[in-house]
Structures are given as C-alpha cells and as structure tokens.
Chain A
Amino acid sequence: MTTPTPPGAHLPEHPDHLWTTAEPRKSYDVVIVGGGGHGLATAHYLAKNHGITNVAVLEKGWLAGGNMARNTTLIRSNYLWDESAGIYEHALRLWEGLEDDLGYPILFSQRGVLNLAHTEQDVRDSMRRVEANKLNGIDAEWLGPDEVAKVCPIVNVSADIRYPVQGATFQPRAGIAKHDYVAWGFARRADEAGIDIIEHCEVTGFATDGDRVTGVRTTRGDIAAGTVALCAAGHTSVLLDMLGVPAPLQSHPLQALVSELLEPVHPTIVMSNAVHVYVSQAHKGELVMGAGVDAPVGYGQRGAFHVIERQMAAAVELFPVFARAHLLRSWAGIVDVTPDASPIVGATPYDNVFLNCGWGTGGFKATPGLGWAFADTVAHGRPHPLVAPFGLDRFVTGALVDEHGAAAVAH
C-alpha cells in the first residue's frame, strides 16, 4: 500500500530570506503608501525599469496582509472595453513571465476561466465581449453548454436548474497564482534593489506646501517625500480625506471562503455573474469561492452571513458535487468600488501625489501591469498611456469605462 502524498507536499519550501525589516529614514525620493501587491509591484518596477531605489513602502499592518491576502487569486484579461483590455492584457503578459522576473515561484497556473451565461441577455453580452476581446488580441471563445461540460465536467449544465447554463465565454490563458508568493517575490526583489519596506507604519497625515506634499506623518515619525504614490485600496478615502481630495469611492466588505482540502475535482475557474459566485480550486486542494460585495459601506473586514449563504446556494446548484464539502473559513477584505467598476489611476490636485485606487473587486489580476504602468507614471510625473483613460477627471468629462459586466462581481 502506498502512502498518499499529503496536500501541498509539492509546493516549494519557503526561502531563508525574503526582505529586511527597515527602519524609516528621514527622507525618500518616493514614498509608496500601502504594502500590498500594488505598492510592492510599483516599488519593484520603479527599481527595475527606472533605476529609482531611494523608495520606502509604508504598510500600516504587516506586509501584504490586506486585500493581497484576501483575494481569490483569479487572473484574466477578458474585459469589454479597449482601455481595460490594454491594462489587464498588459498585466497578463507580465504574469506569464513573472516567475523568471522575480526569480521566485508564484505557481501561476493558466487553467482558463469560464464566465457563465444564464439568460438570453447574458448570452448576447458574452458574445459581444468575446468579439471585443478578439479585436484586442485577447484569447476568447464562446462555448455552448456541452462544450462547457467538456472544459469543466462538474458544472451542472442540465436544463432543470433555476438558472440553466446557456453557455460561457472561455479565456484559456486565464489562471490563478499563489497570492502570498507574489507579494513576497515582489518584496524580495524590491528589498534586493535597496528599497525600504517598512511595516507597522501607518500614515496619519500629510505635510503640504501649496500644491505639493512635502512629506507624510506616520505612527513612526515624519518622513519627507519627493513624490507620494497612494496604493491603499479600501483605505484610500481615509488618506484622501486627510488631503481634502474628494474621490468617487465607496469601501465595501467583499467576502470569500474556502472548503477543506479536497482531491482535484475542478480543472478551471468558473465565474457566474448572474448567480454571484466564482470558484477555483487552489493548488493545495481547497475550493476557493468569492461572493458579491456587502451592500453597505464598511471598513470592518467582515461581512454578513446571508451574503455567503446565498453564494453557497448558487455554488451547490451549479456544482452538485460540492454539496458535501465543508466550509473551512471565510473572511472579508475592504474593496474600494467606483461608479463604473474601473480603477482610478493618475494625477491628483497635488503636483507630486499620484493615485492608484478603485480596483474594487478585481485588483489582484492587475498587480504586475499596474505596478509597471504606475511606476512609469510616478517616475515621469504624468500618467502612462495604459492608465491615462482611468484618471479621476473622467467623472467630470463623462468618459467612463463601464465594466460592470466584465467585472463579474455584483456591486
């Protein structure tokens, strides 16, 4: 009798050294507020692409302990509009080479994503999105219910469920990665380049001089800054309120959960906009599922049980095989949602403060692409072309980038 391999046995060992615990210095060329995926990726590309290393990443808690530890690790680029295709596809191409760039395993597994359609309108919208993706050079195809069952045999494609599966879009290059390893890989590279990663350092205010910010006040003292880059996700409004800069953000809890470790049963990623659930199976074997946002504004990193209950009902109907799985744990992250479900990246009324927020329910997939473009924005003091359509001014001009359909999470 052979001993079964324990789940996770094939995962790489943790390395001896990740990053150095830095003490804040008096002054930096660039201060990045927020030590999550976006902040760390921005730091990495500032060093790698622009040679800027006199940089501090300030994190109020522990490194990558906010949304970077709470997302469902899905990576895809099948958004509708050209502007979104630009940034998300740029990110996906970087994901495809990220392990080599970081010299660190991130377990990027391109297992594809199915976005299910359950109504005639879903079908029309999905086909339109497939065609739009193809025009932007993004891999996308439309699958009928039988083809959906071939890609993912455990999806219930029978006609006798409440919202029968009418088909799905499929992006084969989509995938999952191990979010902690991604953060650690970026942090390790940034640290090697000489960037200070400072944990437990909360920004409590800004020192300003006219149209410029001269530094940040923190729980570990004042730090002068040449340029400030905000990467604070759900807490961005707290920082912007200190600066007196209004932004159309609402922070909501977004919940996710995992089952206990199971044998591999789920070969791909399945998302369903209409019944509000998205599911993949992690490398170790947990089923990872996400819900829609809780409706009220909330900063409490916990959500309401009825949201999860509804999500589980949808999951069990779509995947009858899940009925006997057990919920291991659930949690919430605080996501900053914008009116058009697209991010806000670029300039602020302060000459040397740059904003990166509003990624809402979908920031993880953008991590390398955003870091690459935001570092360029910070280095040159103007929006990189890939993020230029996502400026705060679009809410005045009306040039919104409405991605409520492709964002795929109810909000």
Chain B
Amino acid sequence: MQLISCPWCGPREEVEFSYGGQAAVAYPEHPAALTDEQWARFVFFRDNPKGPFAERWVHAAGCRRWFTAVRDTRTHRFVSPSEVTS
C-alpha cells in the first residue's frame, strides 16, 4: 500500500488519510463583490494537472491534522516533503 508522509506522525498507509483536493484555494476576500462567474470559479473549478499537484490531505485516522503535499498525478509519487500549513 502507498505510504503518505504525515508531517507529525511520519509515513503511514494511505487508508489513514482523506483527500482534500487542490491546496491554496482561498475564500474570497470580498464575497459580496463577486460576480456569478467568479463564484463559479471559486465553488466548482479546480486545477486538474497531469503532473505535480499541490494538494490538501488530512491524517483522518491518526492525528487528524491537515497538511499540504505535492504529488505527481501520473505516478502517484509524492515529490516534495509534506509541509505544515494551516
């Protein structure tokens, strides 16, 4: 089974983790000012790269903390050490 490196707990089996999708999708600073088009982008549109992808993961069956990691979507290989980000 694939191992995913939790920044707090170290390498653990992937079944302990849940996937959170694309990293660094910030909530709009001025929500009331957004057009429908801008809302659609925020709610529905995410990057879908064939290659390295910065993603959110949560160690759901462990420390239950979130982190960001870069994974290559072609190989499923994690290409950078996990970062502790809020």
Contacts and interface: CB of A to CB of B under 8 A. Distances in A.
Nearest to A310: B15
A248 B45 contact: yes
A299 B50 CA distance: 6
A383 to B, nearest CB: 19
A237 B51 CA distance: 12
A378 to B, nearest CB: 24
B38 to A, nearest CB: 9
Contacts of A296: 19, 55, 71, 73, 76
B44 to A, nearest CB: 4
Contacts of A299: 50, 73-74
Interface in B40-81: 40-41, 43-46, 48-50, 53, 55, 71, 73-76
Interface residues of B, number: 26
Interface stretch (A50-58, A88-96, A200-208, A300-308): A300-308
A18 interface: no
Contact of A295 (B19, B44, B45): B19
A339 B73 CA distance: 20
Nearest to A400: B44
Interface in A228-248: 235, 237-238, 241, 246-248
A295 B18 contact: yes
A300 B74 CA distance: 5
Interface in B7-29: 14-15, 18-19, 21
A304 B1 CA distance: 7
A300 to B, nearest CB: 6
A249 B1 contact: no
A392 to B, nearest CB: 10
Contact of B44 (A237, A298, A339): A339
11 contacts: A237-B48, A237-B49, A248-B45, A251-B73, A295-B18, A298-B76, A300-B75, A302-B76, A339-B43, A395-B40, A396-B40
